[in-house]
Structure 1
Amino acid sequence: MLMWLTDPCRYDRWTRPSPTDSNGKTGGPTRVFTRVYVYFLGSVEAQQLHFTAHILIRYRWRDDRLVHSSSKSSIQGENKLKERVWIPHVYIVNEHDSNIMGSGRQDILVTVQPDGTVLYSARLKVSLLCMMNLQKFPFDEQTCPLILESWTYNNTHLELVWEHDSPAVLNSNLRMTEYNLVSIWTNATVSEYALTKSTPIDENYKNKGYSPSVIEHVHYYGKFAGNYSQLIVNFELEREVGHYIMDYYVPSIMLVVVSWVSFWLDPNAVPGRTTLGTSTMLTFITLSRNTGSSLPKVSYIKATEIWFIVCTAFIFGSLVEFAFVNTIWRRKKNVELKKVNSKHIFKSTLTPQMQRKLSIDSGIDKGTISGKLSRRENKSKSLLSVGDLDPVVCPHPEPLENFSIRVPTLNDNKTSVGGGLFTLTPQEIAQWIDQRSRIAFPAAFLVFNCFYWLYVYL
């Protein structure tokens, strides 16, 4: 029966079947109904921008030339039957690589029913290109399509149509390693290719800058020009972030926090604070390189790069803070402040005043003062006494034998000197900056985290 139906004298396998309407008239496009069954979705290779899938694809169309009345309900065959009947040439637009699966023989099945309905089924392993948006990596969601399109016939001759019931079916046991399959949906569209393009006949006019008056229309795609029927299966994938949270974000947060330990060390502890800062910086850079090595090089900034830049800035900031306080710690001269606050401390520290000269203007015309200096301390103040002075010429009726000068102690932060100024030692300023850094750095990092996690999840 099959050999008789497909005999070349009555059947041309290279000619598409022309549909027949209820009035017996032939014409119009051949409608090919399509269904896809997804067995397996493999890993999504972000660097190569493709993913793999194992699918069963089935096409159904009507070929009145194959109508028969047989004792069997249908005629089934594999490659031999495929080579004798007309099969629509449908290709995968975003195909990276594909092959028909099968051990020993290809998994192809062709069924011809008595009413002329033909079913063509094939099991494929396909690698599909997926243009990913990695701005929110690793908190990204990707929509990867499977695009089917007619190759030889445009939509005036062949129309691809989804089956009305369950056009795309998923394996109930389907699981993915790095992604979670959120949803799957289908749609049908038309791919438009330009029929012609206009080019000037005489290229000399174009080279000379003139607008040529004669234009010819060149067929750009030849016989393939036109609108082609297209079917799309969209896989919405959501990346599983547990691996990245545990292997990247938690360790990087711990490294940033460890870099703040230097704020509790002595500002003069150069080996300890330097080793701590450089080791955390190098460890964090190594951690980040391992995380981003599997990603393609893109022109935009990814979420992981934002995290890397900010965390690097915090670790580097702790090193800069150490260099700053250590420089202040090694200064010899005290700093006079109008007020003990951040503004005046940083202003006086960054722009130290010129050394002031101490002058005594008490009406002394001339002479020298010499004597013995002694220090006497009590619970409330320290006294610097000068005794055994040589005679000096001064307007006072009695010679100066003893006088006392109150000297501020190193820990007396609020001691006011002449002109309403406060005096702090360099060591006190360095410790003051460390104390403020213990609060400022964690608070700033907490604010950044609030904005960052809102960005990646919204």
Structure 2
Amino acid sequence: MGWAALGRRAGGGGRLSPILSLSLASLTSSLLLTVLCILTLAFTLATIVSAEDIFEEGKSDKEILDNLLLATRYDKRLLPPVQGTLTVNVSVLLLSLASPDESSLKYEVEFLLQQQWYDPRLRYSNRSRYEFLNAIHHHNDIWLPDTYFIMHGDFKDPLIPVHFALRIYRNGTVNYLMRRHLILSCQGRLNIFPFDDPLCSFAIESISYEQTAITYVWKNDEDTLRKSPSLTTLNAYLIQNQTITCPIKASWRADGQLIVDYEDEYDDFGDSKCSLCQRRFEEQGNYSCLKVDLIFTRDRAFYFTTVFIPGIILVTSSFITFWLEWNAVPARVMIGVTTMLNFFTTSNGFRSTLPVVSNLTAMNVWDGVCMCFIYASLLEFVCVNYVGRKRPLHNVVYRPGENPVTQRLPAVLSRIGIILASPLLFLTDKSRRCLQMRHLHSVKKGEKKREGSATATGGGGASGGASGGPNEIVTCTNCGPNPCTHTATNGCAAEVRKKEPPHPIRVAKTIDVIARITFPAAYFVFLTFFFIHYKGVS
């Protein structure tokens, strides 16, 4: 009979009732929705089957990635949909270290930066023959962390345009590898150069995602950097490195005023650590940060062979003049002036390569003290030459090889009755006549003194004149220059005269003898203090 007949019976005039019309409309809508759902499910199943077919048929990784990165299923502007915070594992592999020269504070560091995270949208079938997909040509279509470097320095442009690698594994793990070449301006203590250990630091941070969205962690909790088996170094001597999270948090207000936690502003050595640290912006948020510290040292052998050992040789060469004769003017002048000029040339040539600083450095101390020793040895020669050329008092004759003890020995022995051979037997005629004239002069002086002592009461004057001090020599005026053959009290008139001053040549030689001991000893003390002090400070 049909719906029309029912409608005619119910309506009685060929018209459908309103209730029946609504029922028909709702039924039609339900049928349409059911058909749409079935079509959508069929399309989805067809897509999955098609994808599985592509993976199983061994299509290229580029085709698989094209399928995975369809705009309908992947949006690179969105973070990977993971529970909680997205964790980015970071590791660094050192490739090369270099410095322009030994005294520079700029170091070139080349390394591989590996970042690894999980993106469930990029999982693919395990039945594929690919262990990982090479996504180097799809890097513009995949979400990547916006990592940037905080450092004192610049980037060095890569020689090749492609300097990264991008791999996607079956479980959705993404491995992003970048090759970076940094030129870092390091922190060194030039006041103790070359005994300082420069510190180079750089940090990595997310520029737009807060710590609640992305967290950077060191892969496998590594506390040091990994070194490549083919690591090359040039004038860069790495002694220590560490990988840490940025320890300091600084707060920046909207108006630019900085609020710093002063308890953690400085490290154990008193150096500021806020240059490369985790920054927390009050309005923008808090960001995850990782830091790398590289501690270098200087090549001690280079500085010893270039600066210290040549300086020690030049200074000790200036001490050779103390063992030469006082009147060897050409030799002593040549040694003194040559060592001074050579030291000036060596030190100025080396200091021209050092950075200029205003405070006193270890190299200034070294150059200044060494130059003082060389100049002092030259002044010692001038003093010795001046003293040796002075005219002796009372025309004292200098007899090389004698000393005051041997000169007084004949007179002392004659007083106790021991007769020695006359020293006049071993003198030339000219020297003998000179001594005889001096003897006659002393006899005349003795007669004048005896005439003056006759006016004195008693024998006090004679006894007082005969008793000399330790610096007086008693001579017999009756026996002449020959040794006395009698005792001192055998009626021989005695004359007391003062000890003659030392000859200027003897004074000059004495100065040389003293300098032979004091100069090397003082320089050895300086060397010991210099190396122990500055090495201990470093």
Q: 1:90: how far off?
A: 1.6
Partner of 1:347: none
**One-letter identity of the residue aligned with 2:190:** L
In 1, Cα distance between the equivalents of 2:217 and 2:188? 27
Question: In the superposition, relative to structure 1, how do residues 334 and 453 fare at CA in structure 2: closer, same or farther (>3 Å)?
Answer: farther
Two-structure CA RMSD over aligned residues (Å): 3.9
- Correspondent of 1:92 among 135, 146, 149: 149
Identity of aligned residues (%): 29
Is 1:441 matched up with 2:519?
yes
Partner of 1:272: 331
Partner of 1:286: 345
Question: In the superposition, relative to structure 1, how do residues 119 and 11 fare at CA in structure 2: closer, same or farther (>3 Å)?
Answer: same
Partner of 1:424: 502
Q: 1:315: how far off?
A: 0.3
- Correspondent of 1:312 among 371, 374, 379: 371
Structure 2: gaps (5+ residues): 1-63, 258-278, 395-431, 455-475, 482-494
Matches within 5 A, 1:68-79: 68-69=124-125, 71=128, 72-78=130-136
- Secondary structure of 2:501's partner? strand
Question: In the superposition, relative to structure 1, how do residues 404 and 249 fare at CA in structure 2: closer, same or farther (>3 Å)?
Answer: farther
- Correspondent of 1:377 among 435, 438, 453: 435
- Correspondent of 1:106 among 137, 162, 166: 162
Is 1:62 matched up with 2:118?
yes
Matches within 5 A, 1:220-259: 225-259=284-318
Is 1:181 matched up with 2:238?
yes
In 1, Cα distance between the equivalents of 2:199 and 2:301? 20
Matches within 5 A, 1:198-213: none
Question: In the superposition, relative to structure 1, how do residues 327 and 50 fare at CA in structure 2: closer, same or farther (>3 Å)?
Answer: same
Is 1:450 matched up with 2:509?
no
Q: 1:396: how far off?
A: 9.4
In 2, Cα distance between the equivalents of 1:33 and 1:233? 15
Q: Is this contact kept in 1: 2:200–2:293, CA < 8 A? A: yes
More helix by share: 2
In 2, Cα distance between the equivalents of 1:433 and 1:421? 21
Q: 1:271: how far off?
A: 4.0
Question: In the superposition, relative to structure 1, how do residues 173 and 69 fare at CA in structure 2: closer, same or farther (>3 Å)?
Answer: closer
- Correspondent of 2:194 among 138, 147, 150: 138
Q: Which moved more, 1:277-286 or 1:299-308?
A: 299-308
Q: TM-score normalized by structure 2?
A: 0.60
Larger Rg: 2
In 2, Cα distance between the equivalents of 1:182 and 1:298? 26
- Secondary structure of 1:183's partner? strand
Partner of 2:273: none
Q: 1:421: how far off?
A: 6.6
In 2, Cα distance between the equivalents of 1:435 and 1:122? 70
Partner of 1:340: none
Q: Is this contact kept in 1: 2:238–2:296, CA < 8 A? A: yes
Is 1:6 matched up with 2:69?
yes
Q: Is this contact kept in 2: 1:194–1:225, CA < 8 A? A: no
- Secondary structure of 2:99's partner? strand
Q: 1:270: how far off?
A: 4.0
Question: In the superposition, relative to structure 1, how do residues 195 and 179 fare at CA in structure 2: closer, same or farther (>3 Å)?
Answer: closer
In 2, Cα distance between the equivalents of 1:42 and 1:452? 29
- Encode CA deviations 1:341-392: one digit per residue, 9 max, x unaligned: xxxxxxxxxxxxxxxxxxxxxxxxxxxxxxxxx95538xx962437999xx9
- Correspondent of 1:38 among 84, 94, 113: 94
Q: Tell me the number of residue pairs that the alignment of Structure 1 and Structure 2 aligns.
A: 375
Question: In the superposition, relative to structure 1, how do residues 289 and 56 fare at CA in structure 2: closer, same or farther (>3 Å)?
Answer: same
In 1, Cα distance between the equivalents of 2:452 and 2:103? 92
More strand by share: 1
Q: 1:6: how far off?
A: 3.3
In 2, Cα distance between the equivalents of 1:50 and 1:323? 47
Q: TM-score normalized by structure 1?
A: 0.70
- Encode CA deviations 1:55-101: one digit per residue, 9 max, x unaligned: 111101122333443624432221x3211112112222225232564
